[in-house]
Chains A and B, each alone.
Chain A
Amino acid sequence: MAEYKTFNQKNWIKTNLDYRKDTGSWAWIFHRISGIALIGYLFLHIYSVSSLSQGRTAFNKFMEHYTGTFFSILEWLLFAFVLFHSLNGVRIVLVDWADGAKYHKSLYRFSIAVGLILFFAMGYIMFSHEIIKLFASH
């Protein structure tokens, strides 16, 4: 019989970190991190878009602060969080409702591949003007 260690409630961070981690554990960890980031962003998003109520000049002036390469890159990184959470969310639904436990590891690898392709495709769409300029100057 295997011996089970009792969960150390006092030191749960260390206990969690000590577990041996496989595909599913990493998916679980990243799903939580991206989920917390996304709900944080949703609060921020509702706040930032609320300046719409103050009319055209106020909103356009407000949005001027959030344009430019730096914020575009942040938006692109946000897309990485959205992608992971969406694709892994679909994976969770398949595991729960479509016998996905039998193929959840290959599903994880497939999701990562699809996610990377979509991430760089979005990068091209968002930065295509800059990319075209970069190659046109030579």
Chain B
Amino acid sequence: MYKHQNSRSSGSFGWVMQRVSGIVLVVVMIGHYILMHYHPENGHTYEAVLARMQSNWYRVLDLTFIVLGMYHGLNGVWSIFRDYRLKQWQSITILSLIIIFGLAFTLWGIKTILDIPYINGGSTAFFGN
């Protein structure tokens, strides 16, 4: 059996999560594409986004989409690097960059969604907005 280098974990948790998040992403991606492209204006105007974001369900869906997409993507990038025999300083640098940029862009995306205003004075109900 090959002894893994540069890591104390075998990576099996990441391996399972990559498949689980991938399956969820495929399902959400189908909805995303129907929503964005069935009518061209749906995905490309402020009015359409504002109307959609009045529902907290859409907000939660989009937040999940950002977090899962970022996790799946960056876990994938890291797993590519793990295929090569990196020196310790190299893997520390690469992993740090992945985590820093991943967190920064994830938080930026979350902020973008939370910044979109509610039209009728900040209702936080899940239904009937």
Binding site for B on A (CB under 8 A): 9, 12, 32, 35-36, 38-39, 42-43, 46-47, 49-50, 52-53, 55-56, 59-60, 63, 66-67, 79, 82, 86, 89-90, 92-93, 96-97, 122, 125-126
Number of A-B contacts (CB under 8 A): 78
* Inter-chain contact B37/A53, CB cutoff 8 Å: no
Q: Which residues does chain B contribute within 8 Å of A52, judged by CB atoms?
A: 46, 49, 112, 115-116
Residue of A nearest to B107 (CB): A46
Bound form: Cα–Cα A12–B85 in Å = 11
- Knowing that A46-B112, A52-B112 touch, tell me 17 more A-B residue pairs with CB under 8 angstroms: A9-B85, A35-B76, A39-B74, A42-B73, A47-B108, A49-B109, A50-B109, A52-B115, A53-B111, A53-B115, A55-B46, A56-B50, A82-B29, A89-B22, A92-B19, A93-B19, A93-B22
> Which residues of the other chain, A, contact B46 by a CB distance below 8 angstroms?
52, 55-56, 59-60, 63
Q: What residues of B have a CB within 8 angstroms of the CB of A60 in the complex?
A: 45-46
Chain A residues near B19 (CB-CB < 8 A)? 92-93, 96-97
Whether the Cβ atoms of B73 and A38 lie closer than 8 Å is yes
Assess whether B112 is in contact with A49, with CB atoms less than 8 Å apart.
Answer: yes
- The answer for the CA separation of A46 and B73 in the assembled complex, in Å, is 13
Chain A's nearest CB lies how many Å from the CB of B13? Answer: 15
Closest partner residue, chain A, to B62 (CB atom): A49
For A50, the chain B residues whose CB sits under 8 A away are 108-109, 111-112
Please state if B76 and A39 are interface contacts (CB–CB under 8 Å): yes
Contact A125 B38 (CB under 8 A): yes
Residues from chain A with Cβ under 8 Å of B101 in the complex? 43
In the complex, chain A residues whose CB is within 8 Å of the CB of B108 = 46-47, 50
**Chain A residue contacts of B50, Cβ below 8 A:** 56
> How far, in whole Å, are A97 and B46 apart by their CA atoms in the complex?
42
Q: Are the CB atoms of A46 and B23 closer together than 8 Å?
A: no
Assess the A39–B22 pair: CB atoms within 8 A: no
Residues of B contacting A79 with CB < 8 Å?
A: 33
- In the assembled complex, which residues on chain A have CB atoms less than 8 Å from the CB atom of B116? 52-53
> Which residues of chain B from 31 to 89 have a CB within 8 Å of any chain A CB?
33, 37-38, 40, 44-47, 49-50, 66, 69-70, 73-74, 76-77, 80, 84-85
Which of chain A's residues has its CB closest to B116's CB? A52
